Structure 1
């Protein structure tokens, strides 16, 4: 109970500072807000400083936050979050094997829609086809989002494309970069990968119980942080912008974009998502190589169907419909 009360008090204090913007809040006002003594206010301020917040204290004016730590936490995500559902329940961990594993357990236990699982570090992060995903401590966004859409299981891959659009929009809005999407789940900046999306189901043949959407974003890594080999194909938003980003703020942007797209999709279907996805697509009109478990094909990427399936025209003008594969641009 004491931990819960302390967390709630911290949240109240941070909300007050966020609402005040650049204005000072007097110690007396904080005392009244939190229902505590001035001595207790001083202790809460010191606790914030110990967490990495920089606060200015001016006699007869009070306190204000001048700089927030670039940390991911429940408070940092929810302060200023504009969504109604997505991200309203945050499960934060310093280190996990993978956020997908944690999210699968929570989804099975019936946690509410919109719950996100976040970690500062993953030891066994993974992408599509069980490939490993390099996810070191304190540099990226390693996140899984739980949703419970009332759609047939065969439509679930559309949520991968919807998520890619939401992430691309969030990155574009915050950084002014020009992200591109490579079917089905990679987001590129200047030709290098910054984001991967992994969608997994808990479902029966006719019914989805939950969809767990994993998102890995390279945010603040420098080139030297990537293992040899990965640095040739991957980049980070910090490398591309020249500045470190506030990861919590980026998560807020992405969750808001996702929520708007998700509920519109449930109401009106996939067509508008398809059009948005194609506006970001890097491969349409390009010659590509498609690699499946059984074969390799070459041809021109034409776009995606109304169901989200990739269409490719080979040199004999035959149209191939690609449901699951890796693609590379020739």
Structure 2
């Protein structure tokens, strides 16, 4: 109910995007209990029992205690998986991790409150093949796409497209190589580069290269949409804007009516109250859907444009927003 109860924030300890939301809720005087699932079971204590159709109990840290019955909403912001006691065998650790996920995580999902986003729905929506099907189903324009581990099929797809392809990973690939941070971004594949034997090693996603006037990050909170053009100022950023944030210029824009309708229908099908959508806008002005991230970053857009995305998220968590 609006105006009553606490907001539970589940996030990693160092999360600037989450900090924006927590700071705004604090400014509004809304009670917040912030925790990271990584602190369970070593620094978080859970005790809950089922009374009738409701779970009652507490979640406690070394400083504060949360009455589970008081939770009105949960901001699920990329929490880290539970950290377990040192010295556990691999087999014991695997069992304990599963029990923590199904017990602690399962109890939280059983609370009768709104989530942004719901963990199960968000996990399902991470699947790119599902996203692309639902986007096409709900009226958004989707590039020609192939998923394969067959090098010959990739070559045939390039022949069908009649031009360069884009390869992109299904999930962000980041890590360190020789002590240096490294990431795999979208890259252009020329037809002459195919077939390539590495394609046979796992599933690969290829799409037709769509000419870009610019790209758009469209952030949806409930039924409120915030759209910003991303104009990349480097060659690498033109291929994948995530590879060169420093070169960008941003500009607030208004999505076409058919894109707005498609985005809202897509959120409805996926069961999501939040989504960070990426589109390519062609030189002719056509919007082509690339992907949606159910817990995507938005702080850099708000900082660059002033779009009130944090306020909309807080409205939703308070129960006052659509």
TM range (shorter): under 0.3
TM-score, with structure 2 as normaliser: 0.25
TM-score, with structure 1 as normaliser: 0.24
